[in-house]
Amino acid sequence: MLGSTIRTQVAIVGAGPAGLLLGQLLHKHGIDNVILERQSGEYVLGRVRAGVIEQGTMDLLDEAGVGARMHEDGLVHEGVQICVDGIRHRLSFKELTGKTVMVYGQTEITKDLMDGRAAAGAPTVYSADDVALHDLFGDQPRVTYRAGGKAHEVACDFIAGCDGFHGVSRKSVPQSAIATHERVYPLGWLGILADTPPVSEELIYVRHAHGFALCSMRSPTRSRYYIQCSLAEDIDAWPDDRFWEELKPRLDDEARRRLVTGPSIEKSIAPLRSFVAEPMRFGRLFLAGDASHIVPPTGAKGLNLAASDVRYLAQALAEHYVEKSAAGLDHYSQRALARVWKAERFSWWMTTLLHNISDNHFDRKLQLAELDYLFRSKAAATAFAENYVGLPY
Ligand code: RFL
Ligand code: PHB
């Protein structure tokens, strides 16, 4: 049965952070947009992912008018700690770069963006099935989908593919038009969320002979921990006690003493992957966020890259509609990819520095030499801090 045909300026596929933030920024510029999301709103809000956001991402959330709760509840972090075989070292972002990062969960950002969108009265279609992109290289692209047992269509000027790594947008592009670059690591992160106080006020990245671990948090009463695991791991084989027993030996004495264990409220395994699809524009389709690139989570860059893509894209669309200039749209892919590749490099570097990836003794010795250099050289520490707090847009 035929349902509605809606006309809008920008059709956005995906209501993750990229799609919702783009929608909000476009709305601020007076540009109409419709978001189509495959999942329900509750499902999107139930995903536990990023924890660390850069100053540039905070600024964008403020610009989108949804930063109030973040400033109230977010935790400002002036540094980070790296523990190597039981000895902890601190790197101060504040001293090295004058900047800080914010610990504020992706779940909360998503909620703030959804609330902002509802307040703006901008349309989002959740549980949209069979989303399909049409006529990308013509003047009048369309997006079709099914909802409530009916077929619907969105006619638009542009499509923003913000539908994540497994989305339909990137797959709608002719194979000959797109180049993909990928590195798959033979490991994953097993993550646990628990209502227990964090072991430390700052994040601790742990390099240990048993494998990587990360002590993070969502609030002074909610912890987020990760341990390196094999890709073949079955989540059902990881009752909470087993997780805590695996984490403990990787920590330093003080962290082990302060560790408060408790029942998990979420547990999941994420594979580690580096991936870039180029270019990010195909006619009237623009990819943004995980739809176009993936980083392993070690550098805390995924959500922040989605935000920088969206900033370039929102600016470019505003230039198109307000100033009637195509320059921003023409340069979008090149500008976004320049920042993407630097974050790819940093995330790959941090991943290979801290994980147990290779059995080769030479590789292990190199890791330790690199870490020693990082702790002793101000130049090396500054390069690390500069990347962690986020390179300029
Ligand atoms: P998302 O969040 O995947 O959202 C895409 C949305 O599109 C929908 N979708 C579709 N909708 C319609 N039709 C289709 N055919 C569709 N297919 C998919 C999906 O349902 C979804 O709602 O991509 P987006 O918006 O680009 O955002 C990217 C971020 O989510 C991601 O990069 C971060 O979570 C990565 N990440 C981290 N990033 C950071 O900046 N800092 C961190 O500390 C950080 N920690 C992490 C992370 C990712 C992790 N995992 C689970 C991979 C920690 C972990 C463990
Ligand atoms: C998190 O808190 O989920 C988190 C923090 C830092 C990372 C990755 C994930 O590098």
In this structure, the number of other CB atoms found within 10 A of the CB of residue 82 comes to 21
171 is catalytic: no
User: Is 321 within 8 Å of 29 (Cβ atoms)?
Assistant: yes
Domain 185-272+356-389 of CATH type 3.30.9.10: yes
Closest atom of ligand 2 to CA, residue 50: 3
User: Is 303 within 8 Å of 330 (Cβ atoms)?
Assistant: no
Q: Which DSSP symbol is given to 176?
A: G
pLDDT of 203 over the 80 cut: yes
What pLDDT does residue 47 have? 86
pLDDT of 101 over the 80 cut: yes
Which ligand lies nearest to the CA atom of residue 53 in the structure?
A: 1
CA of 332 to the centre of ligand 1 (A): 21
What pLDDT does residue 48 have? 81
**Section 5-22 average pLDDT:** 97
What pLDDT does residue 1 have? 58
Determine how β-strand 75-77 pairs with β-strand 101-103. antiparallel
Helix H segments across the chain?
17-28, 41-46, 55-63, 68-73, 93-97, 106-120, 240-247, 253-258, 302-318, 327-354, 361-376, 378-389
CATH code for 2-77+100-182+273-351? 3.50.50.60
Catalytic site residue from 152, 208, 293, 301: 301
**Section 22-35 average pLDDT:** 97
Catalytic site residue from 205, 225, 312, 332: 205
393 is catalytic: no
301 is catalytic: yes
Coil vs helix vs strand at 216: strand
* Tens digits of residue pLDDT in 316-350: 999 999 999 999 999 999 999 999 999 999 999 99
**Section 181-201 average pLDDT:** 97
Percentage of the chain with pLDDT > 90? 96
Residue nearest to atom 2 of ligand 2 (CA): 51
- Ligand 1 site, residue 277, Cβ cutoff 6 A: no
Catalytic site residue from 152, 208, 297, 320: 297
User: Where residue 372 falls among pLDDT bands split at 50, 70, 90?
Assistant: very high
* Tens digits of residue pLDDT in 292-306: 999 999 999 999 999
User: Where residue 46 falls among pLDDT bands split at 50, 70, 90?
Assistant: confident
Q: Which residues line ligand 2 (CB under 6 A)?
A: 50-52, 203, 216, 224, 297-298, 300
Predicted TM-score (pTM) of this structure: 0.96
Structural domain boundaries in the chain: 2-77+100-182+273-351, 185-272+356-389
What pLDDT does residue 268 have? 94
197 is catalytic: no
Percentage of the chain with pLDDT > 70? 99
